[in-house]
Amino acid sequence: MNGIDFLPLAVGHMIGLGAIGSCIGVGLLASRYLEASARQPEMMEPLQTKVFLLVGVLDGAFIIATGIGLWFATANPFKG
């Protein structure tokens, strides 16, 4: 087998594991935010902006991995 034959597997891992990691991260972040908001309701506003910023960073990492994976799948830059 040639290394190029493993490209679809690598792209699937990039997209799939990125999605799983992003979903777990967003779920943990949301649960901790709700827990903190229940304990200290006066901190909801300052924490909310930080939560949305972190959700954007987590989703941004997944979207970048998806874009690179699709680029590898369509352009195939490693084909000699």
Q: Which residues are catalytic?
A: 59
Q: What size, in residues, is the chain? A: 80
24 CB-side CA count, 13 A: 6
CA dihedral 43, 44, 45, 47 (to 10 degrees): 80
